[in-house]
Amino acid sequence: MTAPVRSAASLRPEQVELACRFGSLSLPHPIMTASGCFAYGDKFAPFFDLRRIAGLSTKGISPRPRPGNPLPRICETAAGMLNSIGLENVGAQAFLSEKLPWLAELGISVWVNFFGEDMDSYVECARMLDAGHDRGIDVLEMNISCPNIKKGGIEFGTVPAVAHELTKRCVQATRIPIVVKLSPNAADLPAMAQAVAEAGAVGVSLINTITGMAIDVRTRQPRLATTYGGLSGPAIKPIALRMIHQVHRAMPQLPICGMGGITTGEDALEFLMAGASCVQVGTANFAQPAIGPSIRDELRDLMAELGIARPADVIGCIRPVPPEPAWASEAPEPGSAS
C-alpha cells in the first residue's frame, strides 16, 4: 500500500475554495447536472434551489421538436439503467422562448445540449441557438454520441475526421462556445478529442452512455423497444474514469467535463483527479432530485479532510502506483533490503 497523500494538514470545510474554471468559464464549484437527467431544470424547482448547483446541461435540443421512441424506453440493470428515450425534446424555438428565460434568471451556468439528424441540421441547430448568446446560454454542448439516433449519427461520434468537420461547421455557426460530448463507443477517444479541439471546440464532455442491451428471457424480447440503448449509472463509472484519464493525459490543456455514474462527493473527486475540470451528475438525479447540492457538500468535506484547498490543485493529479522490487528466487538478506 502507498501512503495517502496529504498535500497539507486537514482543513476546515469553510477553508476549501470550491470555485473552479472550465477553460475561460468560471464556476462556483465543480458540480453540474447532466443532459437528459435534468430536463430543462424546472421540474427540479420543487425539490431544491437550483442556484446550489454550478450549472446544468439541458435535455438535448434539435432544430424541431421530436416525439421520442416507442415503449419500453428504459430498463434497470445492475447498478445502472438502459434508456432509449429517442432524444425527445421541445425543439430549439420552443426552448428559446419557453425554457431559456427562466433558466437564465437563475444565474447558474446554462449549457444547452444539442444535436441534429444530419450535418446540416446540426449546423442549423447551432445557428438557431445562437439567439441565446447574451441571453443566458454559456455553452453549447454538442451531442455527437447519442446511441438513440438512427440516421448515420454513429459516424459523428466515432470517426475523428467527421467529428472535426461537424465541429468546425457548428463553431462557425455560433458565437457561443462549443463543448463536444464524446461517445464512449469511439475506438480512440484521444484522437476524437484532438479532432474536435482542433476544429474549435473549447472543451469536451465525457462520457455519454455506453451502448448496451438487456433481454427478457421469458418473452425472448429485448427489454427496450429499440433493442439497444444507452447504459448509465454507477456501472459505467470505471469506464468514464479511464477515458477521462486517457484524454487528459493526451491533451492536458483541454478542459474536460466529466460524467458517468457519479453519486457521491468521492466519485466527483475521482473524476477531478482523473483530469476533469468539472463534473455533471446524471442518473442519480432520478432517485434523489437534490443530489447535486449533496455531492457538492460531500466534495467540500472530503477535500477538507484530505487538505485539498482548491479543485485546481488535484485536476489530473493521480500518480502511478510505484513499481514493486524485481523478482528473484532468493529473498534479500536481512538488513540489505531498502
Partner 1 sequence: MVTPSPSQFRARVVDTRALVGGYFVLSMEGPAQPAPLAAVIPGQFVMLRGEWGRDPINPRAFSVLDSDGDGRFSVMLKAYGRGTARLCAMRSGEPVTVTGPLGQGTFVSPSAHGPTQLLVAGGVGLPPLHLQARRAAAAGLASRVELLYGGRDRDDLVLLTDFEGWGVRMHLATEDGSLGDRGFVTVPLQRRLQAAADAGEALQILACGPTPMLRAVRAMGLRHHVPTFLCLEEEMACGFGVCLGCAVPVYGDKPYEYCCTEGPVFEARRVRWS
Shortest distance, position 71 Cβ to partner 1, whole Å: 6
* Alpha helices (H) along the chain: 92-94, 100-106, 119-129, 153-158, 160-173, 189-198, 237-250, 265-274, 284-287, 291-305
Judged by DSSP in three states, 274 sits in helix
Closest to 19 measured CA to CA, from 8, 30, 32: 30
Q: Which of 91, 289, 293, 307 binds partner 1 (CB under 8 A)?
A: 289
Residues 6+ away with beta carbon under 8 Å from 101:
135, 136
Contact 12, 260 (CB under 8 A): no
User: Cα(163)–Cα(52) distance, rounded to whole angstroms?
Assistant: 34
Cross-strand partners of 113? 141
Q: What is the grid cell recorded at 164?
A: 472535426
Among residues 20, 37, 125, 146, the one annotated as catalytic is 146
Tell which positions 28-67 bind partner 1, by CB under 8 A.
Answer: 37-39, 43-44, 46-47, 67
Which of 211, 285, 292, 298 touches partner 1 by CB under 8 A? 285
Residue 260 is placed in which grid cell?
458517468
**Stretch of 94-102, 246-254, 277-285, 312-320 lying at the interface with partner 1 (CB under 8 A):** 277-285
**The one among 233, 255, 265, 292 contacting partner 1 by CB under 8 A:** 233
Stretch that binds partner 1, among 9-17, 69-77, 242-250, 312-320 (CB under 8 A): 69-77
* Closest C-alpha among 35, 75, 39, 82 to residue 236: 82
| From candidates 13, 23, 28, 68, binder to partner 1 by CB under 8 A | 68
Instruction: Identify whether the C-beta of residue 32 lies closer than 8 Å to the C-beta of residue 56.
Output: yes
Q: Which is nearer to partner 1, 42 or 305 (CB)?
A: 42
| Residue 30, preceding peptide bond in cis (omega within 30° of 0) | no
Among 94, 250, 290, 304, binds partner 1 (CB under 8 A): 290
Among 3-11, 71-79, 163-171, 307-315, the segment contacting partner 1 (CB under 8 A): 71-79
> How many residues interact with partner 1 (rule CB under 8 A)?
34
User: Which of 81/189 has CB closer to partner 1?
Assistant: 81
Q: Report CA 146 to chain centroid distance, whole Å.
A: 13
What Å distances lie between residue 98 and 36, 101, 103, 111, 146, CA to CA?
Answer: 18, 7, 10, 16, 25
Please give the grid coordinates belonging to residue 198: 482542433
- Tell me which amino acid residue 185 is: N
Q: State the nearest-atom distance from the C-beta of 264 to partner 1, in Å.
A: 9
Least CB distance to partner 1 at residue 234 (A)? 4
Q: What minimum distance in Å lies between the beta carbon of 184 and partner 1?
A: 18
Residue 257 annotated as catalytic = no
Q: Is 70 in the site for partner 1 (CB under 8 A)?
A: yes
Residue 263 C-beta: closest distance to partner 1, Å: 6
Residues between 72 and 91 that touch partner 1 (CB under 8 A)? 72-76, 78-81, 83, 85, 88
**Residue numbers at the binding site for partner 1 (CB under 8 A):** 37-39, 43-44, 46-47, 67-68, 70-76, 78-81, 83, 85, 88, 233-234, 263, 283-290
Residues serving a catalytic function are 146
